[in-house]
Amino acid sequence: MTIRKEIQEFLLEETVKRFLVYVKIHTTSSEESTTYPSTSCQLDLGSKLKEELLELGLDNVVHDEFGYVYADLSASENRENVQPIAFIAHLDTSPAAEGKDVKPIIHENYQGQEIKYPEDPTLSLSVKDSPELESFIGMDIITSSGDTLLGADDKAGIAEIMAALRAWKKFPELKHGKIIVCFTPDEEVGKGTAKINLDRLPKFCYTLDGGEMGELETECFDAWKAEFEFKGLSVHPGYAKNKMINAIDTASRFFSEVPEYETPEHTEKREGFYHLYNLSGSAEVAKAAMILRDFEEKENKRRMVFLESLKETYEKRYIGLKIDLKLSHSYENMSVYLEPFPDVIKHAEKAIEEVGLEVKRIGIRGGTDGARLSAKGIPTPNIFAGGMLFHSRKEYIPAKALQKAAEVVLIIAKNWISN
């Protein structure tokens, strides 16, 4: 099955239109929050999606107290016995960059030039930042105006799923089994499945939360979090000799001993890393947060041993210093959970090929809701959403990627029918 031109044009228009609306709705999540969802603004997009799903005539539409949105699309006639599948995307955007008052800009018919941002003249986007831009020449490129991220992670996924739902309603020849959609809050802060209702999900799901067109991700990082508290002793600096234990100064020295070649700035592909992303405090108390990432759990175990050893060394070196270190497992490499279910992967591979793209099987240098769902017993590969340079003000997406991802959704549904 190939998607005919009329449907392709419809998907392009529909995905871009919806995407430009969704990115303007502020949904930044918060790691410090203890509420569900972590920020109330995520409920605004959830409420809008609930209204749109009801307008489309879907069944069992729910926007629950935790911010999750669920809906069911009944199977096409004579397709009631086909295995139901779900498509999932997340509502929130990363707190790594400003996500409020996003002003998307379409750079039409990109020809390889450096892209400028009106809200920040010092900011630019070029093939040096993202070599993939060369393959997008001739396409429309969507960016923010330069003072915020764009929000393609993961409002592109939402727009693609919603456009597919519209296409199923508009074009009866697009057959499918029962489809469940789920939009989750707080994926960016590691809580995307914390309150999810597993009873609403079928045996197999797909997240649309990947990057470049053609990507299919069936492996992700093994992920740990390390939280530190350095407890020192503050003394007047004029009389501090042999008395003060400067917590934040000592913490700075501590983290300077983490191997620089094992940080995100110096790693790629299957290389793991330490990532210190927060350090604050005073001479009395300092707190820090670090993540450990690798495709091999044994490598993260090695890093944890190093941190424990460094902690002991510093407590001996600075008498009176106390370092509390808390390690917690965030998520596992999902490959072990997907390997027993090759068909769920093959359907996605075939769909990507059918829309005219090369399948790019890569490991996610991060994680998705799919990793956690796979660990919960629901195999969930991750399909490209099309965005690039996520979590930054240089984030962008080719409009064509929005269309292609929506096509993949339609064809995956058809592929399941063939079983």
Q: Which residues are catalytic?
A: 92, 187
Could you tell me the CA-to-CA distances from 75 to 82, 147, 173, 174, 402 in Å, in that order? 8, 43, 13, 11, 24
User: Model pTM greater than 0.75?
Assistant: yes
Is domain 5-220+333-417 annotated with CATH 1.10.1040.10? no
As a whole number of angstroms, the distance between CA 410 and CA 351 comes to: 8
Could you tell me the CA-to-CA distances from 103 to 23, 150, 204, 377 in Å, in that order? 8, 8, 36, 39
- Closest Cα partner for 136 from 409, 404, 363, 340? 404
As a whole number of angstroms, the distance between CA 171 and CA 9 comes to: 13
Domains 5-220+333-417 and 223-331 share a fold: no
Would you say the C-alpha torsion 134, 221, 303, 249 has a positive or negative sign?
positive
Instruction: Tell me which DSSP letter residue 245 carries.
Output: B
As a whole number of angstroms, the distance between CA 72 and CA 163 comes to: 15
Domain boundaries, the chain: 5-220+333-417, 223-331
As a whole number of angstroms, the distance between CA 273 and CA 224 comes to: 11
Burial of 37 (0-12, 13-18, 19+ CB in 10 A): buried
Continuous H helices in 283-341: 297-317, 335-338
User: Which two structure tokens, joined as six digits, stand for 406?
Assistant: 């929506």
As a whole number of angstroms, the distance between CA 361 and CA 386 comes to: 14
User: Which two structure tokens, joined as six digits, stand for 106?
Assistant: 């379409």
Per-residue pLDDT of the chain (419 residues; tens, 9 = 90+): 567 899 999 999 999 999 999 999 999 999 899 999 999 999 999 999 999 999 999 999 999 999 999 999 999 998 989 999 999 999 999 999 999 999 999 999 999 999 999 999 999 999 999 999 999 999 999 999 999 999 999 999 999 999 999 999 999 999 999 999 999 999 999 899 999 999 999 999 999 999 999 999 999 899 999 999 999 999 999 999 999 999 999 999 999 999 999 999 999 989 999 999 999 999 999 999 999 999 999 999 999 999 999 999 999 999 999 999 999 998 889 998 999 999 999 999 999 999 999 999 888 888 789 989 999 999 999 999 999 999 999 999 999 999 999 999 999 999 887 55
Q: What's the CATH fold of domain 223-331?
A: Alpha-Beta Plaits (3.30.70)
